[in-house]
Amino acid sequence: MPLPARSSRVVAGLMSGTSLDGVDAVVTHLVGSGRSLSVEVLSFVHRPYPNALRDLILMASDAERSSVRDVARLNARLPIESARAVRMAVEAAGLEVEDVDLIGSHGQTIQHLPDAAPVAGEAVRATFQADDPSALAQRLGVPVVGDFRRADMALGGQGAPLAPYLDDVLFASEEETRLLLNLGGIANLTLLPAASRTEDLQAFDTGPANMVIDALADRLFNKPYDPDGTYAADGAPDADLLADLLMGDYFHRPPPKSTGREMFGSAFCDAFLKEGRSRSLSDTDLVATATMLTAASVYQGYARYVRPEHTADIVYASGGGVHNQTLMSMLRAAFAPIPVRRTSDLEAGVDPDAKEAVLFAVLAHETANGVPTGLPHVTGARRAAVQGGLYMPAPPADVHHDEAV
């Protein structure tokens, strides 16, 4: 049963990224649509994953170790965590769950395979985000929009990145050409030319952001990430290893393109460590090189695929990577004299940590109104998709079936 179109809603947004650190949740008040949409963030919370759950996600995401049984059970376990995150965010907003009209949930990416591959004689693209949206709807009694990538992929697109829709809605400028940079597990950028139409923006994943850095911090220092970029600051990037890494196929592939743990996960880190050890690099040198890989691949993506047509006036960064001071310093050095700031410095004032959760609140709101949010010129899809499927909760026990219909 579709929801009635509404211009105004209270919408919760959920994001579980490739960093696997937990669930980000926001509660927003949204009014309007497209570039006329107004977004008020009422609350933002982060709920870390329990270690056992994070380990299960890592195992499920590893093609060498995952099992169908574990993935199925993980898909049923994650809504418990997401429901808790929504309740935390609702309480922080001073509301009740009953006040929430809609939830947008990205889910936890287990596999993202955007390039067509043969399956039983037919070429298909595939993606899977665990965190059953139907189970979440039943737990909270609120309609949920999930599965945001699949419609675009069914139309021949990459299914990612998804952030450009929000970037355009909130941050397009008449005066400035802006580069929006998200530093999650994977880095993606959106170029918004000054005084342009939505059709003029460019966007793609540039490669790893925190993913490789976090993996090295875990393996070398038994830490989930490099706090404030401290380990990288104590080391020195190896220029030769960096040059070899930047010769990788993904960095030279033109957009549309997207990537994830399948390309920059454990196998990549194994090869990175083996090569670094053969060069007698210290632990801190390895982390410094991985951090420079993020900064260099972001700038290389901009220089190769964006700058020939548009020079950015300013870069606005979001995501967990903004807390890595060494990474931010490297990015500022790479982009100089173009300034690199945070999205919280913009007039829209979006918390860099909350931005992706806000994205899924916005996409859910638009999907419930039947508004296409797919960007074919970004993803390569044949046409713009209405992104996401709607999952309805069961009617209250005291409502008869005929009344519910």
Domain extent listing, the chain: 8-162+356-404, 169-345
Q: How confident is the model at residue 347 (pLDDT cuts 50, 70, 90)?
A: confident
Q: Is the pLDDT of residue 237 over 50?
A: yes
Whether domain 169-345 has CATH 3.40.50.150: no
Distance CA 39, CA 20 (A): 27
Position 1 confidence tier, pLDDT thresholds 50, 70, 90: low
- Please identify which residue in the block is written with the tokens 């390309």: 263
Asked whether the domain spanning 169-345 has the same topology as the one spanning 8-162+356-404, the reply is yes
Please tell me the total number of residues recorded for the chain in this structure. 405
pLDDT, one tens digit per residue, over 140-150 is 999 999 999 99
What does the pLDDT read at residue 117? 95
Q: How sure is the predictor about 403, in pLDDT bands with cuts at 50, 70 and 90?
A: very low
- Spatial contact of 330 and 356, defined as CB atoms under 8 Å apart: no
**Encoded tokens for 293:** 């890989």
What is the pLDDT averaged over residues 307-320? 97
Q: Is the pLDDT of residue 174 over 50?
A: yes
Residue 398: pLDDT above 70?
no
Predicted confidence (pLDDT) at residue 57 exceeds the cutoff of 80: yes
For the residues 4-11, what does the mean pLDDT come to?
94
Distance CA 110, CA 359 (A): 20
Side-chain-side CA neighbours of 30 within 13 Å: the count stands at: 36
Per-residue pLDDT tens over the stretch 266-281: 999 999 999 999 999 9
Does the pLDDT at position 401 exceed 70? no
Alpha-carbon gap, residue 266 to 361, rounded angstroms:
31
With a pLDDT cut of 90, the percent of the chain lying above it is 93
Please state the pTM of the whole predicted model: 0.94
Cα(397)–Cα(162) distance, rounded to whole angstroms? 37
Count how many Cα atoms sit within 13 Å of the Cα of residue 126 in the half-sphere of its side chain.
Answer: 10
Q: What is the DSSP string of 271-306?
A: HHHHHHHHTT--HHHHHHHHHHHHHHHHHHHHHHHT
3-state SS, residue 44: strand
Supply the DSSP string of 87-119, one letter for each residue. Answer: HHHHHHTT--GGG--EEEEEEEEEEEEEEEEEE
DSSP string of 174-239? SS--EEEEEESSEEEEEEE-TT--GGG-EEEEEEESSHHHHHHHHHHHS-SS-GGGHHHHTS---H
For position 19, what pLDDT does the model report? 79
Percent of the chain with pLDDT over 70: 98
**Own/partner long-range contacts of 239-244 (Cβ < 8 Å, ≥24 apart):** 240/279, 241/275, 241/276, 241/279, 241/281, 241/289, 242/289, 242/292, 242/293, 242/296, 244/275
Average pLDDT, stretch 388-395? 95
Q: Which CATH number is correct for 8-162+356-404, 3.30.390.30, 3.40.190.10, 1.10.3720.10, 3.30.420.40?
A: 3.30.420.40
pLDDT tens for each residue of 90-110: 999 999 999 999 999 999 999
Question: Please, which residues bridge with residue 116 across strands?
Answer: none
Round to whole Å and give the CA distance between 323 and 351.
Answer: 12
**Strand ranges for 32-177 from DSSP E:** 38-48, 102-119, 122-130, 144-146
SS3 of residue 46 by DSSP: strand
| Arithmetic mean of pLDDT over the chain | 95
**What is d(CA 246, CA 258) in angstroms, rounded to the nearest whole number?**
16
Q: Mean pLDDT throughout 315-336?
A: 97
pLDDT of residue 4: 87
